[in-house]
């Protein structure tokens, strides 16, 4: 049987695995949509969960987290359930994390083994991959798409509809309003100051692929070519798996990519 503190409030359609722990003053609101919580998950204290919400196994929610709350959008009624959020396994949500439920026709998604530090936030309709770390005060606006192994520093801010590519790093107190290519290192607002080589090595990327990524970065950020011309240069090495990632990412970008053009002006 789940362990439920007597001060916790559970209402509506809520399904708990047998070893789930619900701490004091938690509120599970399954009235707008069902809530399902997988085995080994712990809600420590004062956690607010609102459905529709599906949570996998061995997640930890610290005090004052609020997951599945209404979108912070003036045009969306607070009781609109949307498609809800699906959370994987082995995630940690530290104190004060807030993640809004979607307002669009697909569910929000958070993968596995992500670490959300205190007071970080993801707006409505965000998707997050696996093994990401969001430092204290990170702000993801609505519709942000985060790939695997992304890291943000404290108080980093990401504009709505931006994509953060696999393994990229956004420094603390930096803002991003264009897409960040895989493994790029955003050192200040909208400025790609280098590659996240340490992150690449830690994730097992080969030396040859790191060299390819260096060449892609130099082509996109140091060659002084216009983006469309830099893309043509990248295509000369199509077939290299790392280069193909950059070609695909740049081709599919709708907001433009972060390079070295925005350091002073804040624009591409």
Q: How far is CA 230 from each of CA 197, 217, 220, 241, 247, rounded to the nearest angstrom?
A: 22, 10, 6, 18, 10
Lowest mean pLDDT among 135-139, 163-167, 223-227: 223-227
Burial class (CB in 10 A: 0-12, 13-18, 19+), 241: exposed
Mark out the alpha helices in the chain (DSSP H runs). 197-202, 207-217, 227-235, 241-251
- Residues 138-161, mean pLDDT to the nearest whole number: 98
Is residue 67 assigned to a domain?
Answer: yes
- Give a yes or no: residue 215 inside a domain: no
Q: Does residue 63 fall inside a structural domain?
A: yes
- Judge residue 198's burial from the number of C-beta atoms within 10 Å of its C-beta, 0-12 exposed, 13-18 middle, 19 or more buried: exposed
Among 126-135, 183-192, 256-265, which stretch is predicted with the lowest mean pLDDT? 256-265
HSE of 103 in the Cβ direction (CA atoms, 13 Å)? 16
Domain assignment present for 233? no
**CATH code, 32:** 2.160.10.10
User: What rounded mean pLDDT belongs to the chain?
Assistant: 95
- Model confidence, pTM: 0.94
Q: What percent of the chain has pLDDT over 70?
A: 97
Asked whether residue 134 carries a pLDDT value surpassing 50, the answer given is: yes
Domain count across the chain? 1
**Distance separating alpha carbons of residues 85 and 260, to the nearest angstrom:** 35
Q: Would residue 108 count as lying in a domain?
A: yes
Check whether 154 has a pLDDT greater than 60: yes
Nearest one of 141, 56, 39, 144 to 93, comparing CA atoms: 56
pLDDT above 70: residue 266 = no
| Residue 224, domain member (yes or no) | no
Would 29 be classed as within a structural domain?
Answer: yes
Question: What pLDDT score does 262 carry?
Answer: 57
Question: CA-based angle 100:105:110, to the nearest 5?
Answer: 45
- Determine phi and psi for 191, rounding to 5 degrees: -135, 120
Residue-level pLDDT at 261: 73
Residues in contact with 198: Cβ distance below 8 Å, sequence separation at least 6, in sequence order: none
What pLDDT score does 151 carry? 98
In a domain, residue 122? The reply is yes
CB 240 within 8 A of CB 216: no
Q: Which domain holds residue 102?
A: 3-146
Q: Is the pLDDT of residue 131 over 70?
A: yes
Cα–Cα distance measured from residue 13 to residue 47, given in angstroms and rounded to the nearest whole number: 17
Measure the CA–CA gap between 104 and 143, rounded to whole angstroms. Answer: 10
Inform me whether the pLDDT recorded for 6 exceeds 60: yes
How many other C-beta atoms are found inside a 10 Å radius of the C-beta of residue 31?
Answer: 15
pLDDT digits (tens, 9 = 90+) for 11-27: 999 999 999 999 999 99
Mean pLDDT of the region 148-158: 98
- In contact, 180 and 192? CB cutoff 8 Å: yes
Strand-by-strand arrangement of the 169-170 sheet: 3-4, 21-22, 42-43, 60-61, 92-93, 115-116, 133-134, 151-152, 169-170, 184-188, 191-195
Q: Give the pairing type, strands 184-188 and 191-195.
A: antiparallel
pLDDT of residue 268: 38
Q: How far is residue 184's CA from residue 168's CA, in Å, rounded to a whole number?
A: 5
Calpha distance 110→202 (Å, rounded): 22
């Amino acid at each position: 049987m789940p362990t439920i503190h007597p001060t916790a409030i559970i209402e509506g359609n809520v399904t708990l695995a047998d070893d789930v722990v619900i701490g004091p003053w938690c509120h599970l609101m399954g009235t707008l949509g069902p809530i399902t919580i997988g085995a080994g998950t712990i809600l420590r204290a004062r956690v607010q969960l609102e459905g529709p919400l599906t949570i996998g196994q061995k997640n930890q929610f610290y005090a004052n987290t609020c997951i599945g709350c209404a979108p912070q959008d003036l045009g969306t009624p607070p009781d609109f359930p949307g498609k809800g959020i699906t959370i994987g396994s082995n995630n940690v949500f530290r104190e004060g994390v807030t993640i809004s439920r979607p307002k669009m026709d697909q569910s929000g998604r958070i993968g596995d083994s992500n670490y959300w530090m205190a007071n970080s936030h993801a707006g409505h309709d965000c998707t997050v991959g696996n093994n990401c770390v969001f430092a204290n005060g990170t702000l993801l606006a609505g519709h942000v798409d985060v790939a695997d192994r992304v890291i943000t520093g404290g108080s980093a801010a990401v504009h709505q509809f931006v994509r953060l590519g696999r393994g990229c790093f956004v420094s603390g107190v930096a803002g991003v309003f264009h897409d960040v290519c895989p493994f790029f290192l955003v050192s200040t607002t909208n400025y790609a100051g280098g590659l996240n080589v340490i992150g690449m090595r830690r994730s097992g990327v080969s030396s040859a692929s790191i060299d390819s990524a260096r060449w892609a970065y130099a082509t996109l950020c140091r060659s002084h070519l216009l983006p469309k011309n830099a893309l043509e240069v990248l295509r000369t090495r199509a077939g290299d798996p790392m280069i193909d990632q950059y070609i695909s990412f740049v081709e599919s970008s709708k907001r433009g990519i972060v390079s070295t053009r925005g350091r002073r002006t804040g624009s591409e």
